[in-house]
Amino acid sequence: MNDLAAYLSRIGHTGPVAPDLPTLRALTLAHATTIPFENLDPFSGVPVRLDPDAVRAKLITDGRGGYCFEHNRLLQSALDEIGFVTGSLQARVLWGQPDDAVTSRGHKLLRVDLDGVTYLVDVGFGGQTLTAPIRLAADEEQETPHGTFRLVADGVGGWRQQSRIKDEWRTTYRFDLTPTYPVDDEAPNWYLSTFPASHFVTGLTAARPTPDGRRLALGGRDFAVHHPDGRTERRRLETVDELRAVLADELLIELPAGIDSALKSLF
């Protein structure tokens, strides 16, 4: 099975593929709802590798998830093989911080140029992962299967992506259109997956949007289910077995061997 066939099988896409908008939408949704966001490797002391073989083995063969550098590399590889015109970008994460906070370029996203329109694609932003491509257009509310997003231009060539949470627009990250390359991912990836103070090293996080419009989010032992109607169900996981069940059954992660010692540190 070649790489593209293996990828399409992993995300459950059985329809046609072509460098067109219906394919881009279908693959973005299928990828986001099938391959979870998770940081089990950094949390358990295993550095994240970004070489193509490692990303394919982890996210396709081993049934795992990952974070932005892995997710968006895998999707970009598939899009390139299909014939899309893609590019890589980096962003400064602002989720949970003031809009004027100065943060490092620690997030990877993609641009796709199609029929004269530039789209942003990002299947690796945890609880606010995009489940559809969005157009690079200022102040345009754009509906996705999992919420409404918009892009705000800063007037000097930069953009802020925002998600509408109930009646409030919240910034996820800011970025510009400077092209980046695989080598540019290595330093932030190494920092995020190995630096002792990195939030991916110190805490457990996982997330997955579901095909029925919900968003599932795990932070440490706290599991939340966000419904399309705005309701949120929350529960505190009290045992390692409960935690394993949520990771495997809800977030669809094939748990790696030896993960229990890291999970027990949360109790």
Does the annotation mark 71 as catalytic?
no
Is residue 6 within 8 A of residue 74, CB to CB? The reply is no
Q: In angstroms, rounded to a whole number, what is the distance separating the alpha carbons of residues 38 and 64?
A: 8
Q: What is the DSSP string of 71-116?
A: HHHHHHHHHHHHT-EEEEEEEEE-TTS-TT----EEEEEEEEEETT
Does the annotation mark 68 as catalytic?
yes
13, 41, 71, 122: the active-site residue: 122
Is residue 63 within 8 A of residue 251, CB to CB? The reply is no
Tokens found for residue 95: 């989720």
41, 68, 185, 226: the active-site residue: 68
Q: Could you say which DSSP state residue 230 is in? A: S
71, 107, 146, 226: the active-site residue: 107
Is residue 149 within 8 A of residue 71, CB to CB? The reply is no
**Residue length, the chain?**
267
Tokens found for residue 31: 């990828």
Annotated catalytic sites, by residue? Answer: 68, 107, 122
